[in-house]
Amino acid sequence: MQVHVAKFQDMIDLLTPWAIRVAATLRIADRIAEGTCWLPELAQAVKAEPAALRRLLVFLETRGIFKQVQADRFQLTPLSEPLLEGSPFGMRTWLDLDAMGGRMDMALGGLLHSIRTGEAAYPQVHGQTMWQDTIDNAEFGRSYADLMATHAQWVTPELLKAYRFPETGTLVDIGGGSGALLSAVLKARTGLKGILLDLPEAAAAAQQRFEREGLAERVTVQAGSFFDVWPEPQGQALYMLSWVLHDWPDADALRILQRCAEALRTCQAGRLLITEHLIGEGAQRKIATAMDLRLLALCAGRERTPSEMEHLVVGAQLQVVERRVTARGIHILGCQFDGKC
Ligand SMILES: C[S@@+](CC[C@H](N)C(=O)[O-])C[C@H]1O[C@@H](n2cnc3c(N)ncnc32)[C@H](O)[C@@H]1O
């Protein structure tokens, strides 16, 4: 029984995750790594009240993050490494309470509202939708695009291995974020051109990326909403919805798919590629169900099972013609217009 209670207490603890986010936001690990490890100097460097900062650090020491080596002198531990800027997968950025990562976490405080209503909690907590936040506040828009780039960094090698992208034509990345995935595909397929459509801040970040990486001549970036504008590629096109549909409830996801279907109907040689995690059984289930609840709270989105996704696809007059699942459970669905109208 005691073991169960201890496990339960660990599960309900909000303080540790919150204290770690505060340390990440203040960039304490970076300052210590630079040699600012004496409390009064550290407090000045991170703009904190010294006695309060000491309380945070000694608490985190009990969790194995930071170590007090002498009175008021702190050093890093292996567990503080994810808090360093540039650590793998941008972990610090995901935890930053001043940026979109932390803002999304704060929205989870409204989960009760989501469960009672089926609506997103983010607008209840922050006053407007997550997407409007990224449009109205350039800083939030940029930080969301950065987070998506860390996600793309993680999934791109696996997608490139699992799917044979075409050598020529145009890859149209709908909701393509800051272009990390499109850029990687274009580097691997030098005869391919690209179009990226996303909201203004992500589009601006993508444009900068393509210029920086010498791809600007091969890519057109379009800023706007996929509910209002739509790219018009010349010739053979592969449309891509990469981790886009899960951000939307069924009615909106269907509208996005219908726009793709309309584009494929008019472009004979076209195909749509949908890539995201779908809910299955086994080890992936714990991650997928967590993401599902998170998406509900953030944007009334959802993770779908393979049959739920197929149902949506078919409802938009599309047909799944190829299907792959990668080692890490990424589903890749190739779809065509079903040609019935
Ligand atoms: C989960 S991210 C996926 C980004 C990228 N495709 C990837 O796989 O890393 C969803 C993307 O959809 C974009 N988005 C959201 N609403 C949009 C809209 N109405 N029109 C265009 N893009 C939108 C977001 O800005 C974001 O870049």
Inform me whether the pLDDT recorded for 283 exceeds 80: no
Query: In whole numbers, what is the pLDDT of the chain averaged over residues?
Result: 94
* Pick from 160, 201, 212: nearest CA to 177: 201
- Mean pLDDT within 6-26: 96
Q: Cα-flanking dihedrals φ and ψ of residue 128, to 5°?
A: -155, 170
Show the 3-state SS of 65-112: CCEEEECCEEECCHHHHHHCCCCHHHHHHHHCCCCHHHHHHHHHHHHH
- Alpha-carbon span 290 to 143, nearest angstrom: 22
108 falls in which pLDDT band (50, 70, 90)?
Answer: very high
- C-beta of 239 in contact with ligand 1 (< 6 A): no
- Alpha-carbon span 45 to 26, nearest angstrom: 9
* Helices 200-212 and 138-162, axial angle in degrees (round to 10): 60
Closest atom of ligand 1 relative to the 149 alpha carbon: 9
Nearest residue (by CA) to ligand 1, atom 20, is: 225
Q: What is the separation, in whole angstroms, between the first and last Cα of the chain?
A: 63
246 belongs to the catalytic site: yes
Higher pLDDT, 341 or 35: 35
187-223 pLDDT, tens per residue? 999 999 999 999 999 999 999 999 999 999 999 999 9
| Most informative mutation of 100, 132, 148 for ligand 1 (most atoms within 8 A of CB) | 148
- C-beta of 198 in contact with ligand 1 (< 6 A): yes
Q: What is the dihedral of CA 262, 264, 267, 273, to 10 degrees?
A: 150
- Mean pLDDT within 145-162: 91
| Most informative mutation of 244, 256, 298 for ligand 1 (most atoms within 8 A of CB) | 244
Nearest residue (by CA) to ligand 1, atom 8, is: 242
Which one is catalytic: 113, 246, 277, 331? Answer: 246
- C-beta of 310 in contact with ligand 1 (< 6 A): no
- C-beta of 202 in contact with ligand 1 (< 6 A): yes
153 falls in which pLDDT band (50, 70, 90)?
Answer: confident
* Pick from 106, 110, 88: nearest CA to 25: 106
